[in-house]
Structures are given as structure tokens and as C-alpha cells.
Structure 1
Amino acid sequence: MTRCAGQSASFSVTASGTGPFSYQWIKDGTAITGATGNTFSIASVSGADTGTYCVVVTGACNSLTNCASLTVNLSTTASALSNVTRCPGQSASFSTTASGNGPFSYQWLKDGVDISGATAPTYSIASVSAADAGAYCVVVTGTCNSITNCASLTVNEPTSATGPADLAVCPGSEADFSTTANGTGPFSYQWRKDGVDISGATNANYTVDFAIGTDAGAYCVVISGACNSVTNCANLTLNTPTTASGPSDLTLCPGQTAVFSTTASGTGPFTYQWGKDNVNISGATNSTYAIASVSATDAGTYCVVVTGACNNFINCATLTVNTPPTAIGPSDVTVCQGA
């Protein structure tokens, strides 16, 4: 007789001949107390009940012994699956080891749906993608029962990042670089300038507090996540302060044309505003300011405010309007002949 653990088992015998009959059941050579009927039953078998069961039947003339064996199959168990975390492109494998009485059969499922052909103790995915993430279970079936074990597959998201952006600042200003990481962290950061690691620059932001000419260059950040690293770069440009040459002093006569001009240097774009005697001249916003025909009232100090990316620069010149010459005399004279 073969039973699974927890099932009932019953042996019985039918005696023939001249009675009355008596019965004694024996297990592995040892009499079972109280087992004196023609039937011996075990309500719920376990592994310890496995053995040879005999019954000694005694009648009027003789005794007879008959035997049978009880085999108790072990319940099916299986080792737990381990959760797996992978990056895209890596392989993933789930495995279980069955115990109990076989033969064993296996069926793997993903998110509750049978995986076609997945009927071995191990299930593998050669190259995972995001679509493979989910709950993987295996149903292990043995002689007596089935057991289901499950684990999850997590597919990490590759690391990507936005920023930093190119910066152009004026000398003495702050330059703030920043990056935003995406994907599966945790993330680590390392900033570099012109290919050389910057000591202690290991946050998502990097600031140059007081930019000078030597700070100009290429700034890169290496962002490392769970799966990979990416490098993003930006340039820091130092703007040149605004300076200007001109205008030059002018001395003209009434009616002549006066032309003031300036040439800006530095980082533009540039804007211009001309003024006379500290008062802005409406519409005078080019690098040149001209008066078509000067008069005495045009004399004065002319200044231009040149504004560039970093600063303002003021240059001034004077316009002198000469006074036309005048003269008195000579007067008419009448004299006598010979006088």
C-alpha cells in the first residue's frame, strides 16, 4: 500500500477455516497494542508509519501470518525563489529544488500566466528588458501534492541625465552648473574641468563662486546609477568687460557738421546712449552721433554710455563752436584836394 502523508491507510484480512479466530497486528516485528481485529487502520499516515505490517490469525488448529508493506510518500516541497534585480541586457535566472517523492513536474508563470515551454526546475531570460519585469512563480507537482513558490524580477532603468547648460558669465560672478539624473539610483556624481576631477565636487550641482579667466573651460559631470554611467558636459565662457575708444573733442564753425563716434570692445551685444551736458539725447542710440549744422547752442560736453554684457563704460568729448569774426570800420572820409 502506498499513501501520501496525511491520508488514511487500512489493512484487512479475511480468515477461513475453523474458528473462532483471533488477530494480532504487528509492525516491523513488534505487536501493535490493541490491534486485535481483522482490520487495522491509521487515520493519518506520516513517514514514521512506513514499514511492514503483518497479521497473525489464530484459529482452532493453527496460526497463519500474512504481511503487507506501507509506503508513505513525502509531501512535495521546493526551495524558495530569490528576487532578482537586473539592468537591461543582463541575464536573469530563477531556480528551485524540489523535495519529497517524485517524479516532479514544473510549470513557470509570469504574472499569473503560464510561460509556454517553461517546464524545468530553472527558468532563464537571456537578455532582460523592462517588459520582463514582474512576478515569476513555479508550480512544482510531485506524487502527493503541488506547491507554488514566487519571486519578483525588477528591471532597473538605465541612467540618463539632463544638463548642465553652457554658461557665459562676467568676471567676479557666480557660475552655477546643475544636472538632473533619471533612471534607477542611487546616483553618484563627479564633476571635472577640462578632463580633471574636481576634488569634493560630488553633488548634482557645482558652483564657481568668483569666476576669473582661468575658470573658463569645459565642465563635465559623470553620473553613475544602478546600471550605467553617463557623462554630460558644458562650457564656461568668461565675458570680457566693456571698454570703448572715442569720441574725440571737436572744434567747428557754425554751419559745419559735427560727428562723434565710439568703438566698443569686450563682450556684446552693445547698446549706446548719447547725452549732452548730462541730459540724454532722445533717439541717440547708435555708435555715432551727428549734428548736421552746428550753432553756438550746440557747444557743450557730449558723452556716450556704452553697455555690454558685463558693464557700462562712459566716454566724453567737448564740442566747441567758434564765433565768426566781426569788425568795426573803416568809416567814409571826405577831404579837400591837396589837404
Structure 2
Amino acid sequence: MTGSDYRCTVTNGLGSTSSSAGILTVNATPVAQTSSQSIVQCSSQPTGSALASNASLNYQWQASTDNGSSWNNITDGAVYTGTTTYTLTWNVALSLNGNQYRFIVTDPTSGCTATSTGVDILYIVGTPTPLVSISPVSANICPGANATFSIVDSTTLTYQWQYSTNNGATWTNTTDGSLYTGSTTDALSITGATAAAVARYHVIRSETQHGLTCSSASTFAPLALKTNASVGVQPVDATACAGTNATFHITATGSTPFAYQWQTDNGTSPSVWTNVGTSSSTLTDASVTTTMDGYHYQVLVTGACGPQLTSNTVTLHVKSSGVWLGGTSTAWEQAANWCGGVPVQTTNVVIPPSPTAPFQPTISSTTGTAYSTALNVQSGAVLTISGGSTSMLGPFSIVGTVAYTAAGSQNVLPADHGNLTIGGSGTKILQTNTGIVGTLNLGGTATLVTGNNLLTMYAGGNNSITGIVGMPTAATSWVVTGNGNSGAGNTGLGGLKIRQLGTNTGFFVIPVGPTPASYAPAEIYNPGATNDFTVAVNDQPMPGGPLNATVAHTWFISAANPGASGIYVAFQWNASDQPSSFNPASASIIRGNGTYAVEEGMNFSASGSNPYWMEEGPFSTVSQFSVATSTLVVLPVKLLSFTGHWLENGTAGLTWSTPADFEARNFIVQRSGDGSNFDNIATVPAGLGGSSYSFVDMHPNANNSYRLQLTDADGTITYSKVVVLTDAAAADQATLAPSVTETGASNLHVTLGRETDLQYSISDLSGHVLSHFSVHLPKGSNTLPLDLSRVSRGLYFVRLTSDDGFNKVLTLVKK
């Protein structure tokens, strides 16, 4: 109808008339809500709202509290805001539950209005009260124990327990299983708690209405896990002097409280335990007696959690007077270091090792005189005597070490020692024959003076003496075989005995000297059966040695088993020991019988230069030794015969005889390949009285010349006639030249009757092959160089073999 024209015609008795035309306009009614809907909110929400359809219109919101029977305009205030706007907002309250809302909409242009026929029905669901507390408010349980958290709630709510391991920053639902049960009830049970159960716990309580669930969390309750009891520090052995208190202590760790029960076996080692003491972590035995020495103790510990614990078994050591404690210092004279105070003349002294005695005792100049009756230095213990003096009657048991380190003369305690150390300066003097079971330690500038006594190293040559090096070398500390003075009656006394020298001990240095001012060591290498050797040295030339040509030392060597000798020896001397006619460039080791020189080694140049040294061997007899220039001083020699001949095995045999008045030391056998240049190849000892002699050259050449070197009483050297053996058909031969080498260089001379393939090797005493060679050699004389420069001093074997039966073993000594 909009746009139609309308007019009015008026008629009366007089007639009619029409009005002006007017146009009809019909305005649209505003659109209002026609369908109803529900709005559901939790009471814990602060506000709610309803929306109209067009924000450009004017509104008046109405509410019905009687299910739509009556409606009233609502106004802005404490409950509502926006009552005349597009959006109605309310503050949520349970009192609004069930209210219905509609609006009257007005078009401000046309003034047309409409009332919504659809309504908003508001439902407020009550959120569970958030202040519910958990019981217990916290739990602290043992590992593996159970705990339950619960709430008291009479409502018909639903529940979900949660835990947080980050102090409530995030929460995770519990689920029923081995650890949790009751996760959706009002009580959560935790079974067999482990570290994984340590957390905060709360419960979510929920109410669900009109399809909406409203929830709130309870306060939280923490679960902590205690620690099982354990032993942090075990008790340790206790040492106490008789009449004092002994204390044992244990440190337990874990959750408190702890209960303790100490026990002892009363010396039954330990078979029957008896409860003693209090329930403290410390047990104190008051006024212990020596009868309690060896008692064992243990403690039973019970903590808040975990099984009962049993400590390690410990021992009570009760010391009588005279036992060194060493808990304060090293001072012998300090009473606190001893059981029963500083020892007196009647005290039996016992010195245990560290850590039983943390500080080891020292007798010093501040001590004065150290007294005792018996002295027991236990294994591992060290008694140092750096000054003062001792008055100890014995008996002695020195299994450990005594160190004599004073700056001056000291008497060595008259007993065998486990280990004996000398240091400081001055002389340390043996009072009796003394054995050392372990090690002799030489140090400082001190010397150990034997007097007429024998110092025996029971441990033999295996590192039994420290503080020495090989020859030639100077030394500051050694064993003086004498009384400390010089001269014939004062030196060469007593001796140093080394037990069990054999191939495994190698070249062993015997650190001896005749006086505190003279060091003249010997060296022994025994390639044969293990033997004990005693060595002493004086400051006199050997009787029977060449006049003015023998060094001013005689070394006395004896063997426990003389028949098992065959040793190599070396001796060291200084330039001041050399007389006017001695020449170190032409010298040899000589052996005497106390009257005459009866054996001489090969003549060669001494090694070193102040000190000098020389080595030779093997010697089948040991007695007196020295070093001399020229040859032996013996009686004039006259040969009755001297002949030579080939033997069936290809060796050369020499025989000679002497008259009945013959008296000398030995014969030097010489050999030459050209009849002009002779080399010493052997020394044959001579006997007293007329006799016949023989020598077999095991390694002759195809052509050989032999002679004997003889010496007259005035020192004139003469020679026997030359015996020549020539035989082109002689057996295959092999020799070493030289057979004793200082540099390690030698030559292997091989003479063959035919062309052959030869194998030769070098091995040590243990049979270890150092090198092996295979060569093809022509008939005749052949020279093969050998190099031992890289091996240590010792005895080596050169073995030769061929496929056609040639076998020979040669001995090579590297000095």
C-alpha cells in the first residue's frame, strides 16, 4: 500500500468538496528474536550476557522471574548493565538461575516497536566450593610405603585427582594402576611409593548441569619421600692405652630418628655378640685393660625407614706402656706419643707402622738419651736416629727400618735389621754381626763401618742395596770393611756378604772401601749355580804382587760353596792407589794365596779415568785379588817338555811338564796364525811340586803356532819353544777375536774344509736369541763381524750350525 494517494470528500446539504491528495507510507516493524535459547553459566564466572540482533536500534530489556507469566523492564544497577543497549550484561549470581530475558526493540526513525517472542533462559550452575582441604595436609613416607589423600564432601559431585612435580605450574591427571587407585573418587591411594610419587596433589571437584560442567580445585597436599637408613661413615679400629678410654663412632645417613645398639664379642672372635653401651652413635669404653685387646665391636642401626643395618666389625687394640702411638709428632721425647709416657730403662718399646702410628718416631739431639729394654720395630715401621744417643738393652726385633742419619758417628743397634738406612755424615758402626733382611739404603756422606763384624744381605742381589750405581763411579756412602782407620791392621776386616748371587742378579756391585776416605768397590757376576759371596778390601797391595806395580788394595772374596765358582770380577780404584810402576794402560787382575800371586788374567787397558776399573774372568777359585802391571812374581820356571798334536775331534792338544822344584802360579798359553803375532788364549793354573800339564785348544785354525809365556823371578819374561801344528785336513774351525769386548765389537773367524751353508746366532744366558743369521760361505777362512753394542754387559753365546754336521758354541763376554 505504500505510495497510494488518498483524499477526503466532504458532503453536506450545501454540497461536497474534496481535500488535497495525500500519499500513504507504511513503515516496517523492527525484527525481534523469535526463537528461545538457553544460556548456561558456572557460578564461578563473573559475568554473562545476551545479544540482540541489530545494534542501530533502541532496546529495552525485560526479565521474567515467573517462567514468562509477567515481564518487567530492568534497569542498569548492581545486577545489570546495558539494559537499553544491544548487549545486556549481568553479574553472575545463583539468584538469577531460571530467569528469562526478552527485549522491546524500537526503530528510532519510524518509532515502530516490536517485542521479542523468543526468550533467553539463564541457567546458573553452582561451581563447587574451592576451599575444600585435603586430609592429611601433607605426607612424608618411607620408600615403598603407602599413603592416602582424601576430602570430606557430602555432595554428589564428580572427582579427578591431579599431581604436579613443578610446584603447581602444571598439573597432570592421575590414572589408576600400580601406583594410584581412587583417581576419580574422594580418596586417592598411593601404593609402594617411589621417587616418581614425590609431588603436590589436589582434587578437581565438578558439578554438571544443562550440559555444562563447573569445576574447582582443592588446596594441595605435598607428598615427600623419606630416605632409607644407611651407614655414611663406618666405625674404625680403635687404639687406646691401658687405663684410658676407647671410643668407636658411626655416622648414619637417611631420615631420622636413628636407634643404635652396640655389641661386642668379648674376645670370642666374633662368635657371640653381647649388647653393650647406649643407643648413641658413639660408644665409649672407659678404662680399657690389656685383656680387652682384640675385642671386636659392631653396632646395629635402625632408622626411620629401611631395614636394620649392621656395621662393619672393628677391633679394639689396647696397648701397654711402651707402645708408640705417634699421634702428635715424631718426637721420641714427647709423652703424648706413647702409651704410659716416654720409655725408661725398664720399658719394652714397640713401634708399629703407619697408619697405626701416623707419625713415625725420631730420636734427635733434643731427645737426649732414648731408653728401652726390649725394642720391637714392626714390619713397615721406621725408627730414625738423627741425633742424641740410645741406651737399649734388648732383646731386639727389628723387622722394619732403622735409619741412622746423624751428623756424626753412631753405633748401629746390635741386631739384624729388616731394612737399614744410613745418611747424614760420619761413620755408622756395627756392634756385632748384622744381617739385613730387606734393603741397605746408602745415603748422605756417611759410611757403614763393619769393624771385625760381618754385614750380611739376606735378600741377595735383587735391589738389596740402594744408593749405588755401576762402575766406575765416585760415591759418597759405602761399607767400610775395617775399623775406620787406615793401615794393614785396620782395613780388610769384617766384610759385606751378599747371598744368592746368580745369573738373575747380573753384574752386582759390592759397595765397599777400606776406609771412610777410600771407595774401592768390587763387582761380581756369577753365571753358575747361585752362591753366597763375602767381600772385604784393605788399603794394602796384595802379597806376592809385582813390586811397586800393584794397586794399594787387596780384595778378599770368599764363597759359601767354593767349588761352585767360575765367576767374573771387577774392581775399582783411584789414581792415588797406583804405585810408581803401575800402568793402567797395561794391567791385569791377579789372584793370590796370601803369599804369592797364583793367577793372572789377560793384560789390557783399564777402563775409566780416576776412578779406574777392570773386569776379568772366569776365575775358578776365589781368594785374594788385586790389579797389577807386568806379570806375576813367581819362582824361576824350567820346562822339561812342551809338545802339541791334533786330536781326533779336530781340536789341538798341548802337553808340558816341569821339574820337581817347580813353584809358580800359572802358564799363559799363546797362539799365532802366522808364527809371528801371538795372542793369549788361556791361563792354566800351576800346582806346587813337579807335575804334567795339558791344554786343549777347542777352536784351532788350520795352521797354528803355540808357545808358553814364562816369567823369571826378576820379572824377565821368557817364552817356551814354538810348537807348530799344520794340517790342511783339520776339522772346520770357528773362533772369536776378541772373545772379551768392551765396545761390543768382535769378529767370528770361520775356517771351512768345503763350501757350506752356515747358520749362527747370538743368545743371552736365559736362552733368548738376540739375532740370527744364515750365510753361504766358501771353503777356507771367513770373517763375520759381530755387533753387541746395543746390549748390556754380560755373558753371551755364539752358536754355529750347518746342514753337514758342523756344530760349535763360543762364549763372548761384553764388559
TM norm structure 2: 0.24
Distance (Å, rounded) in 1 between the aligned partners of 2:237 and 2:71: 104
The answer (yes or no) to whether the contact 1:105–1:142 under 8 Å persists in 2 is no
**1:175 paired residue number:** 246
Task: Kindly indicate whether residue 148 of structure 2 is the aligned counterpart of residue 93 of structure 1.
Answer: yes
Distance (Å, rounded) in 2 between the aligned partners of 1:268 and 1:22: 114
Distance (Å, rounded) in 1 between the aligned partners of 2:189 and 2:298: 39
The answer (yes or no) to whether the contact 1:239–1:267 under 8 Å persists in 2 is no
1:156 corresponds to which letter in structure 2? K
**1:148 paired residue number:** 218
Task: Tell me the alpha carbon deviations over residues 174-208 of structure 1, each in whole angstroms, 9 at most, x when there is no partner.
Answer: 32211112111122333222222224x23222222
1:91 corresponds to which letter in structure 2? N
Which of 256, 268, 288 aligns to 1:211? It is 288
The answer (yes or no) to whether the contact 1:170–1:239 under 8 Å persists in 2 is yes
Which of 224, 230, 236 aligns to 1:160? It is 230
Which residues of structure 2 form unaligned runs of 5+? 1-37, 49-62, 73-91, 98-121, 177-182, 209-213, 266-272, 323-347, 350-371, 394-407, 417-430, 433-449, 454-815
Over 4 Å off, 4+ runs = 1-10, 70-75, 262-267, 269-278
Distance (Å, rounded) in 1 between the aligned partners of 2:391 and 2:320: 28
The percentage of counterpart residues that share the same residue type is 23
The CA deviation at 1:277 is 11
Task: Tell me the alpha carbon deviations over residues 37-76 of structure 1, each in whole angstroms, 9 at most, x when there is no partner.
Answer: xxxxxx8447xx99xxxxxxxxxxxxxxxxxxx9997652
**2:314 paired residue number:** 234
Task: Tell me the alpha carbon deviations over residues 275-322 of structure 1, each in whole angstroms, 9 at most, x when there is no partner.
Answer: 5799x962614635417449xxxxxxxxxxxxxxxxxxxxxxxxxxxx
The CA deviation at 1:131 is 3.8
Task: Tell me the alpha carbon deviations over residues 212-250 of structure 1, each in whole angstroms, 9 at most, x when there is no partner.
Answer: 134341222222221133221322133466648xxxxxx
TM norm structure 1: 0.53
SS in 2 for 1:219: strand
Distance (Å, rounded) in 1 between the aligned partners of 2:67 and 2:310: 84
Distance (Å, rounded) in 2 between the aligned partners of 1:152 and 1:277: 73
Q: Structure 1 10/213 Cα, relative in aligned 2: closer, same or farther at 3 Å?
A: farther
1:235 corresponds to which letter in structure 2? T
Distance (Å, rounded) in 2 between the aligned partners of 1:218 and 1:277: 34
Q: Structure 1 264/99 Cα, relative in aligned 2: closer, same or farther at 3 Å?
A: same
SS in 1 for 2:65: strand
The answer (yes or no) to whether the contact 2:262–2:276 under 8 Å persists in 1 is yes
Distance (Å, rounded) in 2 between the aligned partners of 1:184 and 1:22: 70
**2:465 paired residue number:** none
SS in 2 for 1:88: coil
1:154 corresponds to which letter in structure 2? A
**2:172 paired residue number:** 114
Q: Structure 1 14/123 Cα, relative in aligned 2: closer, same or farther at 3 Å?
A: closer
Distance (Å, rounded) in 2 between the aligned partners of 1:125 and 1:75: 28
The CA deviation at 1:142 is 2.0
Q: How many residues align?
A: 233
Whichever structure has more strand as a proportion of its residues is 1
Distance (Å, rounded) in 2 between the aligned partners of 1:221 and 1:192: 6
Distance (Å, rounded) in 2 between the aligned partners of 1:75 and 1:275: 97
Task: Tell me the alpha carbon deviations over residues 135-159 of structure 1, each in whole angstroms, 9 at most, x when there is no partner.
Answer: 1222222234423231111110111
Structure 1 residues 202-281: aligned runs within 5 Å: 202-216=279-293, 217-228=295-306, 229-232=308-311, 233-239=313-319, 243=348, 268=378, 275=390
**1:81 paired residue number:** 135
Distance (Å, rounded) in 1 between the aligned partners of 2:71 and 2:195: 73
**2:415 paired residue number:** 287
The answer (yes or no) to whether the contact 2:160–2:205 under 8 Å persists in 1 is yes
Between 1 and 2, higher relative CO (CA 8 Å, sep ≥ 6) is seen in 1
**1:335 paired residue number:** none
The answer (yes or no) to whether the contact 2:257–2:303 under 8 Å persists in 1 is yes
**2:479 paired residue number:** none
The answer (yes or no) to whether the contact 1:271–1:285 under 8 Å persists in 2 is no
The CA deviation at 1:95 is 2.8
The answer (yes or no) to whether the contact 1:136–1:151 under 8 Å persists in 2 is yes
Which of 161, 180, 204 aligns to 1:139? It is 204
The answer (yes or no) to whether the contact 1:75–1:101 under 8 Å persists in 2 is no
Which residues of structure 1 form unaligned runs of 5+? 16-20, 24-42, 51-69, 245-261, 295-339
- Over the aligned positions, Cα root-mean-square deviation in angstroms equals 4.6
Distance (Å, rounded) in 2 between the aligned partners of 1:93 and 1:166: 46
Of 283-292 and 145-154, deviating more is 283-292
SS in 1 for 2:410: coil
The answer (yes or no) to whether the contact 2:44–2:127 under 8 Å persists in 1 is no
**1:252 paired residue number:** none
